[in-house]
Amino acid sequence: MHGIYVGATSAYAGKNLIALGLGLKLQKDGYRVGYMKPIGALPFKKDGKPGDEDAFFIQEILGLEGDPEDVTPVVVDQDFMVKAFSGRTEDLMPKIEQAYERLSRDTDVMIVSGSGSMFSGKYCNLDGVSIVKRFGLQALVIDRFDKELKYDYLAVMKETLGEHLLGAVLNDIPASFMSELTTMLIPFFEQQGIRILGTIPSDPLMGAIRVEDLCERLGGKLITAQERKDRVVENFLIGTMQVENFMTHFKKSRRSAVIVGGDRSDVHLVALEGQCECLIMTGNIYPNDIIMTRAEVLGIPLIVVRDDTYTVARKMEAILSRSKLRDAIKIRHGADLVASLLDFSYMEEKLGLA
Res. 316 pLDDT band, cuts 50 70 90: confident
Task: Give me the mean pLDDT over the 68-81 stretch.
Answer: 85
- Cα 234 from chain centroid (whole Å): 14
Task: Give me the mean pLDDT over the 196-217 stretch.
Answer: 81
127 shares its domain with 225: no
Give the CATH number, domain containing residue 45. Answer: 3.40.50.300
278 shares its domain with 316: yes
Helices 309-321 and 211-218: angle between axes, nearest 10 degrees: 120
| Domain that includes residue 317, residue range | 209-321
Task: Give me the mean pLDDT over the 137-163 stretch.
Answer: 92
Residue 313: closest CA among 287, 283, 288, 269: 283
38 shares its domain with 92: yes
For residue 37, count CB atoms less than 10 angstroms from its CB and return exposed for 0-12, middle for 13-18, buried for 19 or more: buried
Determine the pLDDT at residue 86: 79
300 shares its domain with 279: yes
Query: 176 versus 263: which is more confidently predicted?
Result: 176
Q: 76-84: list long-range contacts, CB under 8 Å, 24+ apart.
A: 76/39, 76/40, 76/41, 76/43, 76/115, 77/43, 84/123, 84/124
187 shares its domain with 135: yes
157 shares its domain with 223: no
Number of structural domains in the chain: 2
Average pLDDT value for the chain: 85
Determine the pLDDT at residue 99: 92
Cα of first residue to Cα of last residue in the chain, in angstroms, is 13
154 shares its domain with 249: no
19 shares its domain with 94: yes
For residue 252, count CB atoms less than 10 angstroms from its CB and return exposed for 0-12, middle for 13-18, buried for 19 or more: exposed
110 shares its domain with 80: yes
Number of Cβ within 10 Å of residue 105's Cβ equals: 8
295 shares its domain with 338: no
182 shares its domain with 228: no
Residue 26: closest CA among 62, 55, 53: 62
52-70: pLDDT as tens digits: 888 888 888 899 988 888 8
Beta bridge partner(s), residue 212: none
Give the CATH number, domain containing residue 310. Answer: 3.40.1390.20
Alpha-carbon distance of 308 to 227, in angstroms, equals 27
Alpha-carbon distance of 318 to 320, in angstroms, equals 6
Determine the pLDDT at residue 248: 59
Task: Give me the mean pLDDT over the 14-20 stretch.
Answer: 90
Determine the pLDDT at residue 165: 95
283 shares its domain with 240: yes
Res. 143 pLDDT band, cuts 50 70 90: very high
DSSP state of 146: B
Please tell me whether the overall predicted TM-score, pTM, comes out greater than 0.85 for this model: no
Least confident of 139-148, 153-162, 273-282: 273-282
Task: Give me the mean pLDDT over the 320-326 stretch.
Answer: 61
